[in-house]
Amino acid sequence: MFDKIEDILLRYEDIIADLNDPDIMSNQDKFRALMKEQAEITPIVEKYKEYKDTKAGIEDSLALLDEETDEEMRELAKEELADCKSRLTGIEDDLKILLLPKDPNDDKNVVVEIRAGAGGDEAALFAAEIYRMYVHYAESKRWKIEVMESDEIGIGGIKSISFMINGQGAYSVMKYESGVHRVQRVPETESGGRIHTSTITVAVMPEAEEVDIEIDEKDLRIDVCRSSGAGGQCVNTTDSAVRLTHIPTGIVIYSQTEKSQIQNRAKAFALLRTKLYDLELQKAHDAEAELRRSQVGTGDRSEKIRTYNFPQGRVTDHRIGLTLYKLDKIMNGDIQEIIDACIAADQAAKLAKMNEAQ
């Protein structure tokens, strides 16, 4: 581990020298790439400095105990030694976590797709509530949300919705939301007062750029049509809606959220690229099935990950055995505690696997 860190330190010094090179400073693409790399390895450099300072503290305390005869000073040295040894273990664990292989998609924006599952109208209503939960969470992170396609029902529910979250590191956080979300409650549409169970599915996909996925237009059927909706000045007046059918995969994208056909076409292509990129990621993950099962948040999307029980006011994440009795706050977007617990469990699983391999 420490040989690897020493290599990172050498690379860090090289980056600092390069960033002060006038030729590189004038090359904006190269300069930005170096700044990004520096930002990625700076936490390791800083944590390693803390490690060396703590090791030095241990050595100083041991030297003082060897030399000092004054009992009061010896007690202080013993306290300092115990404190440094205690902190050293935690710092070593932090360094191991920082050195874990990073998901190359972690810094990307995400496309989130929510679909109503079992439960009819109640599932569609819950899908709308989970969408609002993510909107509130994104707002708390100062992230931007852009709806890409939506299929709503008249009572305020959503059969399906796809939306982009633009924000630094959005995928690194939101990827833990993929899976089946289950709700247990008395539906508003139920007169008998019985508790029903409904489900929705959430898929979180890293945004694909044109360099990630090339789309051959010979593989597409592109249709334009009039937008459907509740009416109004700009509905059903022009052929602004766009439907893309990707023939090899059968993926169909329908975009009508914008008034302009050009804007809807751009959104449809962006969503298609993301879905095709996600298919490639799924294939790669399936090829590493054992690793995938050992990690939190990267399991199959048919996996039930969370239950929202309204009568008891609780939310349970089944992957990590976490139960919180603050359902109202969670439905208002306060999901950071759940995500932090998922990240910690994922890191622990990866560390355990890394230690087994050593």
| Model confidence, pTM | 0.72
Element (H, E) at 73: helix 71-98
- State which of 98, 127, 144 marks the end of a domain: 98
- Are 210 and 119 in contact by the 8 Å Cβ rule? The answer is no
Query: Do residues 263 and 224 touch, judged by C-beta distance below 8 A?
Result: no
Q: Would you state the pLDDT for residue 289?
A: 53
Residues 180 and 43 in one domain: no
**β 220-225/144-152 pair status:** unpaired
Count the Cβ atoms, other than its own, within 10 Å of residue 195. Answer: 12
Q: What is the pLDDT of residue 287?
A: 55
243 and 206 housed in the same domain: no
> Do 86 and 138 reside in the same domain of the chain?
no
CATH number at residue 169: 3.30.70.1660
Q: Are 219 and 248 in contact (CB under 8 A)?
A: yes
> Domain check: are 234 and 303 in the same one?
no
SS3 category, 13: helix
Query: Which residues are registered as beta bridge partners of 322?
Result: 317
Does residue 120 share a domain with residue 224?
Answer: no
DSSP 238-285: S--EEEEEETTTTEEEEE-SSSSHHHHHHHHHHHHHHHHHHHHHHHHH
71-98 vs 28-67: helix crossing angle, rounded to 10: 150
The confidence score (pLDDT) of residue 278 equals 83
305 and 186 fall within a common domain: yes
What pLDDT is stored for residue 236 in this prediction?
47
| Chosen domain end from 283, 301, 335 | 283
- In sequence order, what are the beta bridge partners of 222? 244
User: For each of the chain's 358 residues, which pLDDT tens digit applies?
Assistant: 777 888 888 898 889 998 888 888 888 888 888 988 888 889 899 999 999 999 999 998 898 888 877 888 888 888 999 999 989 988 988 888 888 878 888 888 999 999 998 888 899 999 999 999 999 999 999 999 999 888 888 888 999 999 999 998 899 999 999 999 999 998 876 666 788 899 999 999 888 876 667 788 888 888 887 666 544 334 445 567 888 888 888 888 888 877 788 888 888 888 888 888 888 887 766 655 544 444 455 445 567 899 999 999 999 999 999 999 999 999 999 999 999 999 989 888 888 777 666 6
Reduce the DSSP state of residue 321 to 3 states and report it. coil
Number of separate domains in the chain: 3
d(CA 330, CA 134): 10
pLDDT of 232 reads 38
Q: Which amino acid is at 52?
A: K
* Shared-domain flag, residues 121 and 201: yes
- Report yes or no on 103 lying in a domain: no
Residue ending a domain, choose from 98, 133, 162: 98
How far is CA 107 from its chain centroid? 9
In a domain, 356, yes or no: no
Residue 93 lies in a domain: yes
Q: What span, in angstroms and rounded, lies between the C-alpha atoms of 220 and 199?
A: 33
Longest dimension (CA), the chain: 93
- Judge if 61 and 132 occupy the same domain: no
Are 153 and 247 members of one domain? no
What is the rounded distance in angstroms from the CA atom of residue 261 to the CA atom of residue 146?
17
* 313, 192: one domain: yes
Q: Which residue has the tokens 């109208």?
A: 121
In a domain, 358, yes or no: no
pLDDT, position 301: 53
* Distance separating alpha carbons of residues 295 and 349, to the nearest angstrom: 6
74 and 154 both lie in a single domain:
no
CATH number, domain of 275, equals 3.30.160.20
Q: What is the pLDDT of residue 228?
A: 62
Q: Is residue 188 part of a domain?
A: yes
Count the residues in the chain: 358
Q: What is residue 310's predicted lDDT score, i.e. its pLDDT?
A: 94
Q: Across the chain, where does the E strand assignment appear?
A: 110-116, 144-152, 158-166, 179-185, 196-206, 220-225, 241-246, 251-255, 304-309, 314-317, 322-324
Answer whether residue 189 is part of any domain: yes
Q: State whether 124 and 90 are in the same domain.
A: no
Segments forming the whole domain that contains residue 276: 217-283
How many Å apart are CA 86 and CA 245, to the nearest integer? 59
Question: Is 104 within the bounds of a domain?
Answer: no
85 inside domain: yes
Give me the sheet containing 314-317, strands edge to edge: 144-152, 158-166, 110-116, 196-206, 179-185, 304-309, 314-317, 322-324
